[in-house]
Structure 1
Amino acid sequence: MDFREVLLVLHILLAIIWAGGVLFIGWGVFPAFRKMAFVQQRTFLQALMQWSHKFLTAAGGGVVITGVLLGTVFGPISQWQDMITTRYGLIWITALVIGIVTLLWGTVVGFRQSARLFSKVTLWKQADAGNTKPLTKALAAVVLLESAEGVGFAALVVLMVLF
């Protein structure tokens, strides 16, 4: 196995960790934590986000870096012109932009919005006291905002199938 193949395996593994981790939190953990009391939900989600944010951001960054290397140093893009004059180059640059935007969206926009929600202790205490509507609305907004990452992942999968 040559170095390019090792890099490709690493790229795929990091993509699985990044996308799989984000999707598991959204579709696996998020619905399951709803069984807890609201104040416990806040504490749990805050701890989960603080731990997973660094790990998943690093995996996403690794996907972008290995993707750049696979397309350029160890791939067919040898000059700037290749990115706009070849089918591979157009797909590659599109995937690069979508990957970077998806990573930045999750690490900057989504994470900050979630952190803001978790810092609003009174919202969670109100929900524990029976007034769940404001928290439910805020959680729905975060879920909608975070779903942009899922769209980015889906677009990346479509582009990878096109290669």
Structure 2
Amino acid sequence: MQDQVVMALDELFARQRRLGGIPLVEYDAAFSSPAELLPPQAGKVGWQAWLRPEPGSFDNLANALDMPIHGDISAVFGHYYAGNIPACFKGLFLTLLQPWNEQDFERLQQNQIAHQLMMKKLKLPASWFLATGKEEQKLVTLNNASGEVQLERLGKGCIGVLAPNLSHFLRRLEPC
């Protein structure tokens, strides 16, 4: 399943390029990324998804949290450095998160741990955030047990299933 997620993510990056060309982000020389297409212009820099030579892993989170982690999480966050992707899924506007560089990958892992600890404290099923919703307090998450992609209200848990798995979700996600 992890290979399918990486392929679906690669297809999403290709759709994004076809739709709008090279996406731009604010340039920060102190927070550079191998995904950057230099030189920056007018305070912005273009980016293109950059395939990591060695994929990042979430095994350290599994050890820290003493729990198994759904393999799709490493697949979606561990293979590329890229900018976040504004997108739409069946009328739901969201921003798919992506690590910009190694430092951002580590920060993403720390935020995932905090999310997981909050879920545990609230006695909610384990999930991993994938995207933020346009509506405040809504997240798109991956259910750790089932692998379903779901819509969650922060601190309240799942409010609906969006897709049966992550590769299905990514293939139907439309960049905007």
Q: What is the TM-score with the length of structure 1 in the denominator? A: 0.26
Which structure has the bigger radius of gyration? 1
Question: Which has a greater percent of strand?
Answer: 2
Q: What is the TM-score with the length of structure 2 in the denominator? A: 0.24
